Structure 1
C-alpha cells in the first residue's frame, strides 16, 4: 500500500514537471519570435498548454482504453481527430475572445485563420503522439516485467514439481526392486548377492547420476542394462526377452528415468505365466531422435486396482510435459488383445542443452 502511494506521488510529480517544462519551452519560442518576455507571454503559454493537456489526458484516460487497447482503430482515429480539433478550437477561443484584451492578442490571431487552427491542431497532435508513445512504452515495460515474474514463478513451480515427481519415483522403484530381492531370498538363491550389487548400482544412478534434468544417454542406457538384468532373474526360463540397443558414440542427453516405469510395468504386470510370454524391447537412434519400443503380453488379474496402478507411468507423462516441448516427443501407450505396447520418440539434446 505504501509503495503504491509512493509510486502515485512520483507519477504526479512527473506530470507536473512535464507541463512546467512545456510552459517554459513555449515561453522560449514566444520570446524568440517577439523578442519580448512578460506576463502576457507566460499567460499565453499556460493557456495553450491547458488546451494540450485536455487533449492529452482525454486521450490517455478514455480513447486509448476504450478504443486503442481493444483494437478498434477506426473509432480511435475518428475520435482522436475530433478531440484534437476541439482541443485546438478551445485554445483559439480561449485566447481570442475571453482573454483577447488581457493577453493583447494580435489582430492576425483574432481572425481565427485556417493557418492558426492548423498550427494548434498539429501541435496538439504532437503532444498526444508523444504521450501516447510514452504510455504504450511504459505499459510494454510493465508487461515485460510481469511476464518475467510469471516465467520465474513458473520455473520455480516446475522445479518443485520435478523434485516431487522424482521423490515419488525413487521409492516406487526401490519398493519393486526390494520385492524382487525378497522373493529370491526366500528360496536362498545364489543370485541374491549379484542382485544386491546390481541394485546398488541402480540406486547410485537414481540418487546421484539422475539428479539433473538431463543426463548422458550412455549412462541412462547402462541403467536400463542393469535394470533388465535385474528383472530377467525373476522371470520364468521360457520367457522370451528380446532387448536391442545401439552403440552410443555421441554426447546426446535425455531426461533420466523415463524408461524404467514402462519396463517395470512389463515385468510386473505382464508375463501372465503362459508358454508364450514375451517382452520385446528396443532402442534405436534416428538422427537426433531416440525411438523406444516395448511390447509384451499380459493378463489382467482379478481384483486388479487400475485406479492406483501406473504411478510411475503417470510421472513419466508429467515429466515429458514439463521438460520437453510438445513437438520434441511422441508417446503412445496401447492395450489391445492382451498386448501392451509403448512407443516413445524423443528428441535428443546435445550436452543437455
Structure 2
C-alpha cells in the first residue's frame, strides 16, 4: 500500500472513530448515557450512513452517476434509504422495545406525526450520499485535470521536439549555402568553414537535447558561428559582438538566439555594399537581454535559401517555452533592422 492510500485509510478510520465517540465526548458523564439509546439512535444510523457512503463511493457513483445513468442511480439510493428507514424501525421495535414504546407515547402526547420523523430520517440518510458524491467528484476532477495537464505537457514536448528538429536542417542548409559560395573563390576558407561547421553541428546534435543548457555554451556557440560567417563576408561588412564574460549561473533553452544571428547575416549583408552587424547580450537578475542590428537588405523573392522559417520557429518556441516571460520585438528604423529579445529565465 503506497503512502497516499495509507493516509486515506487512516483519515477514514479517524473520522469514524470520532463519530462513534461523539456521544461520550458530548456527555458530561458516562453515567448519564443510556447505552440502549446510543446504540438505537446513534450507532445503528451511523452504520447505515457508512454503508450508504461506501456503497456509493465504491460502486454506484462510478457505475451509474458518472456514466450518465442518473435515474438508475437515484432509484438505487431511494431503495437503499427506504430499506434503512424500515430496518431502523424494525430493529428498534424488536430489540429496543422500551425505547420504541416511550417513543410512541411521546408521539401521541405532544410530538409531531410519525411520518415527519420518517421524512427527517430519509433526509438525514442523504447526507452521506451527498458527501460521497462531493468527494468522488472532487477526486475525479483532480484526476481529469492532472491528465489534461499531462496531455498538454506531452503535446508541448512534441511541438518543441518538432521545432528543434526543424531548426537543425534549417541551420545546416543555410550554413552549406554559405560554404558553397566559398568553394570556388576561397577554397582554403571553405575548408576552414567546413571544419567549423562540424564543431557547431556536434554541439547541436549532442548537447542541445536537454531542456536547458548553460548560457555560456550558447554564447560560445554564437561566437563560433559568427566567426565562421565572418569568413565569407567581404571587408565591407563589419561584425561586432559583445557578450557577458560570465553567464551568472543562468540556464536557458538551447538554440534560441542562433536564428536571429542567421537572419542578420542573411538579410544584412551584401557583397557590393558597406554594412554592419551589431550583436549585444547582457544579463541582469536571471534575465537575458539580447539585441541584434543589421542593415535592412532583404533577399529577393526568388531567393529561397533557408525557406524563411527561422524567425517563425523562434516565435513559436518562445511562446511554448517562456509564456508571459519573454519580450520579442522587431523594428526597421533608418534602414536598420533591429531585434530585441528579453527572456526571464527563472
| TM tier relative to shorter chain | 0.5 to 0.7
Q: Given the two structures, how large is their TM-score scaled by the length of structure 2?
A: 0.66
The answer as to 2:203 corresponding to 1:205 is yes
Counterpart of 1:32 (choices 33, 36, 55) is: 36
Show the counterpart of 2:336: 339
Aligned mates of 1:193, 1:235 — CA distance in 2: 15
**2:173 is the alignment partner of 1:175:** yes
Cα drift, residue 160 of structure 1: 1.7
Structure 1: 5+ residue runs without aligned partners? Answer: 1-29, 66-86, 96-102
Cα distance in 1 for residues equivalent to 2:135 and 2:314:
43
1:293–1:342 contact (8 Å) kept in structure 2? yes
Question: What pairs up with 1:64-213 in 2 under 5 angstroms?
Answer: 106-110=104-108, 113=111, 126-213=124-211
CA distance in 2, matches of 1:279, 1:204: 26
- What is the distance in 1 between the residues matched to 2:110 and 2:302? 92
Residue 249 of structure 1: how far off its partner (Å): 5.1
CA contact (8 A) 1:279 1:297 kept: yes
Q: 1:330 — aligned with what?
A: 327
Secondary structure in structure 2 of the residue aligned to 1:271: coil
Alpha-carbon shift at residue 256 of structure 1 (Å): 0.6
Does the Cα contact within 8 Å between 1:272 and 1:298 map onto a contact in 2?
no
In structure 2, what is the equivalent of residue 312 of structure 1? 310
* Counterparts in 2 of 1:309 and 1:34: CA distance versus 1, 3 Å: closer
In the alignment, the residues of structure 2 paired with residue 122 and residue 288 of structure 1 have an alpha-carbon distance, to the nearest angstrom, of 63
1:228 Cα deviation from its structure 2 partner: 0.4
Cα distance in 1 for partners of 2:287, 2:192 equals 34
Q: 1:151 offset after TM fit, Å?
A: 1.6
Distance 1:118 1:342, change over 3 A: farther
Q: Is the 8 A contact 2:248 2:283 kept in 1?
A: no
- Residue 331 of structure 2 contacts residue 338 of structure 2 at CA under 8 Å; is this kept in 1? yes
Q: Secondary structure at the match of 1:191?
A: helix
Q: Contact 2:236–2:271 at 8 Å: present in 1 too? A: no
Work out the CA distance in 2 between the residues paired with 1:343 and 1:304: 28
For the aligned residues, what is the CA RMSD?
3.8
In structure 2, the partner of 1:218 is 216
**TM-score, with structure 1 as normaliser:** 0.65
Q: 1:301 to 1:116 in 2, by over 3 A?
A: same
Residue 261 of structure 1 is matched in structure 2 by 259
Which whole-Å CA distance do the structure 2 matches of 1:252 and 1:174 have between them? 27
Deviation per CA, 1:179-217: give whole Å up to 9, x if none. Answer: 111111111432223212211110011000111121111
Flag the 1:335–1:110 CA change in 2: closer, same or farther, 3 A: farther
CA distance in 2, matches of 1:217, 1:242: 19
Structure 2: where are the runs of 5+ without partners? 1-33, 66-80, 90-99
Q: Distance in 2 between matches of 1:294 and 1:321?
A: 20
Counterpart mapping for 1:262-277 below 5 A: 262-273=260-271, 275-277=273-275
* Offset from partner CA, 1:106-165 (integer Å, 9 cap, x none): 242245725989876765554333322221111010011111111222222222222211
1:221-232 mapped onto 2 (5 Å cutoff): 221-232=219-230
Partner SS state of residue 106, structure 1: helix
Question: Aligned pair count?
Answer: 268
- Tell me, yes or no, if the aligned pair for 1:244 and 1:282 is still in contact at 8 Å: yes
Q: CA deviation at 1:272?
A: 3.9
Matched residue SS, 1:210: coil
Residue number in structure 2 paired with 1:287: 285
